[in-house]
Amino acid sequence: MTRDEILAWLDSRRPTPPLALRERLRAAVRETALGLPAHLARLGDELLAGVAARPAGGRELALDLLAADAFATYAFEAQAEEMHP
């Protein structure tokens, strides 16, 4: 999938995430050979790993943690859409 295709799918989600979170999600997206659900899950995993790698981190990690959670949720949504179009 192209980055633009993934961003279009994210932009179609409702409710729309707050601006700061939407921008963080968009910044993490890249092209992939994976299917959408697997790619979204991987993005969430990568963000979560980054948060976990900084155990002394504080509020500056909150947006990455929220983005990781959003990607995990979106991965399940994308999988459900593929199973039940």
Q: Where are the domains of the chain?
A: 3-83
**If pLDDT is split at 50, 70 and 90, which confidence band does 23 have?**
very high
pTM for the model stands at 0.94
Q: What is the pLDDT of residue 85?
A: 73
Helix (H, G, I), strand (E, B) or coil at 73: helix
Helix (H, G, I), strand (E, B) or coil at 12: coil
DSSP string, 24-54: HHHHH----SS-HHHHHHHHHHHHHHHHHT-
Q: What is the pLDDT of residue 25?
A: 98
The per-residue pLDDT of the chain, averaged, comes to 96
Q: Torsions phi, psi of 46, nearest 5?
A: -65, -45
Question: At how many degrees (to 10) do helices 36-52 and 3-11 cross?
Answer: 90
Counting residues of the chain whose pLDDT is more than 70, the rounded percentage is 100
Q: Taking residues 28-52, report their average pLDDT.
A: 98
- HSE at residue 81, side-chain half, CA atoms within 13 A, is 12
